[in-house]
Structure 1
Amino acid sequence: MKRILVFALFLATYVGFAQGPKVLIVTAHPDDETMFPATIFKITHEMKGTADLALITDASGGYNGLVASSYYGKNLTDSATGRIYLPLLRKKELFCSGEVMGIRNFFFFDQIDDFYQLDPLPFLAGQRWDIDFCDRKLDKILKDGQYDYVFCLIPSAEQHAHHKTASILALRAVQRMREGNRPVILGGRSLNKNYTYSFSQLEAYPETKISSTAPVFYFDRSFGFGENNQHSYMIVADWVKACHKSQSGDMNNSMHKGELETFWYFDLNGNNKVESTKAFFEDLRKSGFPTK
């Protein structure tokens, strides 16, 4: 009996160390995940973790595919055509992106991807999206998933209202959880190494406040390694961007740009998880092909 108990304890300890981090990504549109694809790739492929993705809109917007119109044989710059074909096309593209990143599950909320605007209030107030449905679904996903981290986009003032709303939905969902069960929620954005961008809070939304004591975490996807340093994780970001052919204009502009995948630590996480988050990013940089 004693040997059995010792073996069971060893097995439980081994499984605990063997299991990598569990991450939920909450975004508004297919292609929003291009802000941090190398980080997700390393989590799923090299840290042996898991990543799921919750997509809030139905992906029926984004008439950005001038070259993609030739590829798909449809005028994807026309809104009427886009409303018909983009929801399926863009979800297929997201599956392609997810295959590269190693996404395990996709959760589709299918809220209207209406038009570009900056004010998140009509969405959060339930005038444009079914917020009660979104809240209930996010609550269940978080409860069932028992995630270590939630990644969303930084909800800065110049961002699309859909981006801001999706991030606020994620923040509020984490807030509703019991404190001991909450994952760490981080706001991500890709930036160049010489960036001057900063973010502290979206006005009128206190849940978006960034911790004043936590550092900005980052992964340098441009760091070279291998023969003649000709390899880097920039290629992973490019693989992911290339999946989103319907957005050929935006993706063309972003190819092989944005060396840093940066993450801001929201104040609602509390100070007691800063050190474990530091350790997570250190482990991420050391995994696979180590980077600085």
Structure 2
Amino acid sequence: MKIHFYFLLFLASFSGFAQGPKVLIVTAHPDDETMFPVTVFKITHELKGSADLALITDASGGFNGMVASMYYGMNMLDSVVGRKNLPLIRKKEMMAAGEILGIGNYFFFDQIDDYYNRNEKPYLEGKRWDISYIERRLDEILAKGQYDYIFCLVPHEGQHAHHKSASLCALRAVQRYKGTKKPIILGGQSANKNSTFRFTELESYPETKISATAPVFEFDRSYGFGEDLKHSYMIVADWVKASHKSQSGDMNQSMHRGELETFWYFSLNGDQRIKDVQSLFETLKKSGFPTK
């Protein structure tokens, strides 16, 4: 009887929404979307919205699949093996994750996924990536897609250079956008409830400045519901993470962790649009199996 009640509640909340928001996710690597999968899932499955994904790199890096080596029958720790096989494997994994998330379209930019470092300049200056191609393609995608929101990763100093570069490319695409209504761009990442992380902007990149008047928008994916409160949206995040089998080391460390999906509001959006994001997150909390 209790399960039946919650299912009816879910159906009632689902049927009450008009067409939901259109979202474009811009990330550097397959598995970057694991920073905010529940928000995307709820938009596509509960709010009747849509989501597309633009992947900047060719996915040829990420040699941490020790257990995945047994699964795929090849040495996933070896860079030569990885460079040859990971692009196809990781894109397939991302599309498996995308089936859960409800991703409609994928845009592959195939820029080099060279190595872990924190210096974004060679990529943004066109020494490692074809930045002109990235900019032109993003402009075309935004013009055609007419998105309401762009999701990228928070480009803080400690981030991988690829993450920072992909987010900066997204921010600059929004700045260049010539349509009647610019999409709202948010920087997302998962966090624990006791996190002390703060972000204002990435030094030398004023386009990354966060609005001082906007809150950090959050969705708590750990709250319990249903019989004995044994259900939560954490399972959605775990489903998505489990899709990325080639990254078995990183995914093992992140499984069922990070209770919050946090989103930072960039100043370039204009403070008058903060209320739109507030409305979105209030709706997300009320949809599906609503939080109290």
Superposed, 1:138-149 pairs within 5 Å as 138-149=138-149
Whole-Å Cα distance in 2 between the matches of residues 242 and 42 of structure 1? Answer: 19
Shift of 1:276: 1.1
SS at match of 1:104: strand
SS at match of 1:117: coil
The 5 Å alignment of 1:234-249 reads 234-249=234-249
Output aligned runs, 1:194-233, within 5 Å.
194-233=194-233
1:86-143 CA-to-partner distances (Å, cap 9, x unmatched) read 0000000001000000000000000000000101100000000000000000001001
Task: Return the offset for 1:179.
Answer: 6.9
C-alpha RMSD over aligned residues? 0.8
For 1:182 and 1:64, locate their aligned partners in 2 and report how far apart those are by CA, in whole Å.
38
Q: Structure 1-normalised TM-score?
A: 0.93
What residue number does 1:95 align with?
Answer: 95
Matched residue type, 2:281 = F
CA distance in 2, matches of 1:27, 1:278: 24
- Aligned match of 1:68: 68
Amino acid in the other structure paired with 2:213? T
Which moved further from structure 2: 174-183 or 268-277? Answer: 174-183
Alignment of 1:14-93 (within 5 A): 18-93=18-93
Count of residues paired in the alignment: 276
**In the alignment, structure 1 residue 162 sits paired with structure 2 residue 157:** no
Does structure 1 retain, via aligned residues, the 8 Å contact 2:242–2:251?
Answer: yes
Please name the residue that 2:262 is paired with.
Answer: 262
Q: Name 2:271's counterpart in structure 1.
A: 271
Does the residue aligned with 2:197 lie in a helix, a strand or coil? coil
Q: How many angstroms apart in 1 are the aligned matches of 2:46 and 2:272?
A: 26
Unmatched tracts of structure 2, length 5 or more: 1-16
- 1:114-125 alignment runs, 5 A limit: 114-125=114-125
Partner Cα distance (2:120, 2:85) in 1: 26
Q: Residue type of the partner of 1:163?
A: H
Distance 1:38 1:145 in 2: 22
| Runs (5+) with no aligned partner, structure 1 | 1-16
Aligned residues: percent identity? 69
- 1:10 matched residue in structure 2: none
Distance 2:283 2:69 in 1: 42
Shift of 1:244: 0.3
TM-score after normalising by structure 2: 0.93
Amino acid at match of 2:48: K
* Range with greater deviation from structure 2 (172-181 or 121-130): 172-181
CA deviation vs aligned residue, 1:160-200 (integer Å, no higher than 9, x gap): 00000000000000000137420100000000011100100
* Partner Cα separation in structure 1 for residue 19 and residue 48 of structure 2: 7
Correspondence for 1:8: none
Question: Following TM superposition, by how much is the alpha carbon of 1:291 offset from its aligned partner in structure 2, in angstroms?
Answer: 1.6
The DSSP-based 3-state class of the residue aligned with 2:279 is: helix
Q: 1:24 & 1:263 partners in 2: Cα distance?
A: 15
Give the residue type in structure 2 aligned to 1:238.
D
| Amino acid paired to 1:160 | H
Deviations along 1:233-255, one digit per CA (max 9) or x if unpaired, are 00000000000000000000000
Taking the aligned partners of 2:146 and 2:245, their CA distance within structure 1 comes to 33
Q: Secondary structure at the match of 2:24?
A: strand
What SS is found at the alignment partner of 2:59?
coil
